[in-house]
Structure 1
Amino acid sequence: MSRPIMSLLVGLGFAIAVSACATPTTRHPVIAADLGAPAASSDMATSLARPGVVTFQRVAFAHWTGGRGTFIDRDDPRTAEVPQGSEEATIYAYVIDHPRFGRVLIDAGVSAELDDRLNWIMRRSVRDLNVRIERTTAQWLAGQTAPGAVFLTHLHFDHVGGLIDLPLATAVYLGPGEAQEGSRINLLLGSPADAILEGHGPLREWAFQPDPEGDFDGVLDVFGDGSVWALSVPGHSAGSTAYMVNAIDGPKLIVGDAVSTRLGWEDGMPQPVPAAARAAADRSAERLRRFATAHPSVEVFLGHQSRTGQPGTQPD
């Protein structure tokens, strides 16, 4: 959602120089994760041949509409042939039930209270995107078992907003450097992650080590049994994390906004990121596509759209 926000700031005449130094995404405390054993990508690939032990469900929480420049970099010549237009996007979260470790969410859905916590610049941007809530995290949670943990793909507000509706004791995990990633824009946006995380305990940062085979920046066996894997895929943000879930009904790859739409996945269109993050974003997207191609049994879940021609891509 960075492009609409940037357009709004420019239109209002704000100068990035308002802040003399970069402001972190959040000043919320961060500690080392208490889960996750470093592994190689081949370990993960081998685990996919074993029967899954966790159940998996995708839940749609909200929908929004953005111009294609929200999702692809219109300044990159590779996007020149993509016609102007808009894309429909969905805010998803994913429910994992593990026989030993209980319920976990990947990303957090949305909250009806989010709007009140955002500053007026963020509220204006969200309204410009015509966000339509299908269900809030609080509504989904009614009558359900609350998750003990949330594994974040990244800290952008459309992936973490539902934390407002979850118990404050819920453990929250994220990729390295995600909380500390600095930008002068964060000051103007009012640090939405800080507003969302208010009252929650420290964020737990995945302790990735380099993948010995170089297929990803890092691979973690989250529970130590091959059921859930965290993959370091920086670029969209410093700590962007994908998750491989070896579910009972087959393996699922949740890529987050490392690739958010079909334009990025099927057509290889680059997403809008700062120049310093371009190489990492392109590399992470290509690594995810390469892994999925090499393992055709894996069902891929993009950040905000379904893949065409894949199982389970009917509207939620």
Structure 2
Amino acid sequence: METVLDQPGELELETINSADWRVDLSGLLNLEHPKAIAAGLRNREEPIQIFAHVLHHPKFGYFLIDTGVSEKVVNDPEAAGISWLMRHGMHLEKMTLHRSTANIIQSLPQALSGVWLTHLHIDHIIGMPDIAANVPVYAGPHETEESYWLNVFVRSTTDRLLENKSPLQVWQFKPDTANRFEGVIDIFGDGSAFALHVPGHTAGSIAYVLRTKHGAVLLTGDTSHTRWGWDNGVEPGDFTRQHPNNLASLDKLKALVARHPAMQVRLGHQF
């Protein structure tokens, strides 16, 4: 993978802010990390974005990486599949929709070829009501097997958002020959797009490295939610499943960028 990362590719990538939202900083950032303590960070509402990334491959077409927000979720969350518990826990009233998933898809010159997820947390799949049933959807290994306590509360909503869609396809990772990541996939087989297994935030969390016409881009997913967390090497907080693994994956992504300093970094929930 890394032998080609400093060479521009043929992909086109647009990152769209589908919605603004406000959530607790304690979920986004480990406030018990020594760097967070030294910085005097306290829990507060933190403004974030919910992104959809539109990827175009000249041969294989258009893909969404994460899904943005469906207007159906905002206007009628119950009908869209959001459980009562999740409707209250997510505080959808703190979300401001800018561009719906349907609007994003309708603007494309051809049908979607697939959806690639960084993970299965609700805020990354609430665009699924707008995804056609025949569109392939890809996620990381063990995502549907999570036993983390948060999954007890979100399972029914996750199931409803994914029902009547194309069966979830799992990335089949091979060992990283460079021994730097848990696994790496050359998605198209042409060295243009790579999926990296970065467990920790969830068991199957995925980061994507994309060789665009303007250079390589790293999509961290929620291995790093915030700009402060990325800049200071501090992993997410209460929303993360396994802190040591999340921090190890974050360190690996930061080391990747250090080896390729021209690479653009796009985070899970902040510019």
Judge same fold: TM > 0.5, yes or no.
yes
CA contact (8 A) 1:137 1:165 kept: yes
Give the Cα separation in 1 of the matches to 2:240 and 2:83: 27
The correspondence for 1:88, drawn from 26, 33, 47, is: 47
Please name the residue that 2:121 is paired with.
156
1:248-270 deviation line (CA, Å, top 9, x unaligned): 11111001000110121001223
* Letter paired with 1:206: W
The correspondence for 1:72, drawn from 26, 29, 41, is: 29
Give the Cα separation in 1 of the matches to 2:132 and 2:240: 38
**1:273, distance to aligned residue in structure 2 (A):** 5.1
Give the Cα separation in 1 of the matches to 2:260 and 2:195: 17
Matched, 1:301 2:266: yes
CA contact (8 A) 1:172 1:203 kept: yes
**1:132, distance to aligned residue in structure 2 (A):** 1.0
More off after superposition, 108-117 vs 277-286: 108-117
1:82-138 deviation line (CA, Å, top 9, x unaligned): 322432100011111111111111111111223221111110122267111111101
% identity of equivalent residues: 36
Give the Cα separation in 2 of the matches to 1:274 and 1:119: 19
Instruction: Give the TM-score taking structure 2 as reference length.
Output: 0.91
Matched, 1:97 2:62: no
**1:51, distance to aligned residue in structure 2 (A):** 3.5
Instruction: Give the TM-score taking structure 1 as reference length.
Output: 0.78
Aligned pair in 2 of structure 1 residues 153, 139: CA closer, same or farther (>3 Å)? same
User: Aligned ranges for residues 230-309 of structure 1 at < 5 Å?
Assistant: 230-272=195-237, 277-306=242-271
CA contact (8 A) 1:119 1:190 kept: no
Give the alignment's Cα RMSD to 1 decimal. Answer: 1.9
The correspondence for 1:225, drawn from 175, 190, 195, is: 190
Please name the residue that 2:95 is paired with.
131
**1:143, distance to aligned residue in structure 2 (A):** 3.8
User: What secondary structure does 1:257 align onto?
Assistant: helix
The correspondence for 2:66, drawn from 101, 107, 113, is: 107
CA contact (8 A) 2:69 2:100 kept: yes
More off after superposition, 105-114 vs 81-90: 81-90
Aligned pair in 2 of structure 1 residues 48, 305: CA closer, same or farther (>3 Å)? same
Give the Cα separation in 2 of the matches to 1:270 and 1:153: 16
**1:232, distance to aligned residue in structure 2 (A):** 0.5
**1:179, distance to aligned residue in structure 2 (A):** 1.4
Give the Cα separation in 2 of the matches to 1:128 and 1:69: 18
Give the Cα separation in 1 of the matches to 2:92 and 2:61: 38
CA contact (8 A) 2:26 2:238 kept: no
CA contact (8 A) 1:174 1:205 kept: yes
1:212-268 deviation line (CA, Å, top 9, x unaligned): 222111111000001100000000000000000000111110010001101210012
CA contact (8 A) 1:108 1:162 kept: yes
Aligned pair in 2 of structure 1 residues 211, 143: CA closer, same or farther (>3 Å)? closer
Matched, 1:198 2:198: no
For structure 1, which runs of at least 5 residues remain unmatched after alignment?
A: 1-43, 307-316
Give the Cα separation in 2 of the matches to 1:201 and 1:74: 38
More off after superposition, 56-65 vs 270-279: 270-279
* Letter paired with 1:80: I
Aligned length: 263
Give the Cα separation in 1 of the matches to 2:49 and 2:211: 23
User: What secondary structure does 1:191 align onto?
Assistant: helix
More off after superposition, 259-268 vs 140-149: 140-149
CA contact (8 A) 1:171 1:201 kept: yes
CA contact (8 A) 1:97 1:103 kept: yes
The correspondence for 1:55, drawn from 4, 9, 12, is: 12
User: What secondary structure does 1:225 align onto?
Assistant: coil
1:8-41 deviation line (CA, Å, top 9, x unaligned): xxxxxxxxxxxxxxxxxxxxxxxxxxxxxxxxxx
1:41-80 deviation line (CA, Å, top 9, x unaligned): xxx1112233311111111100111232121123444422
User: What secondary structure does 2:180 align onto?
Assistant: coil
* Letter paired with 1:247: T
CA contact (8 A) 2:135 2:165 kept: yes
User: What secondary structure does 2:208 align onto?
Assistant: strand
